[in-house]
Amino acid sequence: MPSDIKTLEHLTLDLDHFLPYRLSILSNRASDAIARHYSDRFGLSVPEWRVIAVLGQTPGMSARDVAQRTAMDKVQVSRAVASLVEARRVKREGDEVDGRVTRLSLTAKGQAIYDEVVPLALHLEEVFLAALTPEERRMLDVLMSKLTKQINSLQQFSIPPP
C-alpha cells in the first residue's frame, strides 16, 4: 500500500478546529436562542420560522425559491408551508404568468408573527455581535460572503478527493 494512502487512513478530524462543524454549532446555538421565543409563543418549528422570515422579506416566492434561499431541502419546506397554510399564517396563490407555479405570502396572522419576532431576532444579533469591534464585523461580513460564494461554486462541481 502506498505510504500516502496509509497516512490518510490515520488522519483524525479535530472538530474544535473544523470550520464546517464550528459554523454548524454556531448556527444551531444562534437559531436555538431565537427559537425559544417563537416556539413557546407561536408553536413554530425552525423550518416554519425560516419560511415566515423569508416571506416577510420577499413575499410571492415559490416553495422552490424558499428552499433555495434557506438552504433547506424541498421536503422540509413543503411540510413547513403545509403547516403554515393550515394554521392560516401563509397563503398560496397561483402565478399570473405560469399557472404551474404557486406563490406564497404571509397572511395578516403570519405578518403579525413576523413583526413580533423580527425585533427580537435583531436584538439577539446585536447582542451576539457585541463581542466584535466594528472592523471585525465588517471583516466577518466580507469573509462570510467569500465563503458563501466559494461553497456555492463548489456545489456546482464535484470536489476531488485529497
pLDDT in tens, 37-59: 888 888 999 999 999 999 999 99
Inform me whether the pLDDT recorded for 152 exceeds 90: no
User: Mean of the per-residue pLDDT values for the chain?
Assistant: 90
Cα(119)–Cα(36) distance, rounded to whole angstroms? 15
Give the helix ranges, DSSP H, for the chain. Answer: 3-9, 19-42, 46-57, 63-70, 74-86, 108-129, 134-155
Inform me whether the pLDDT recorded for 65 exceeds 90: yes
pLDDT in tens, 131-143: 999 999 999 999 9
Q: Considering just the CA atoms, what is the radius of gyration of the chain in Å?
A: 20
pLDDT for the residue numbered 125: 92
Inform me whether the pLDDT recorded for 2 exceeds 60: no
pLDDT for the residue numbered 36: 86
Give the confidence band of 4 by pLDDT, cuts at 50, 70, 90.
low
Q: SS3 sequence, 37-80?
A: HHHHHHCCCHHHHHHHHHHHHCCCECHHHHHHHHCCCHHHHHHH
Percent residues over pLDDT 70 in the chain: 91
Per CATH, domain 14-155 is 3.90.230.10? no
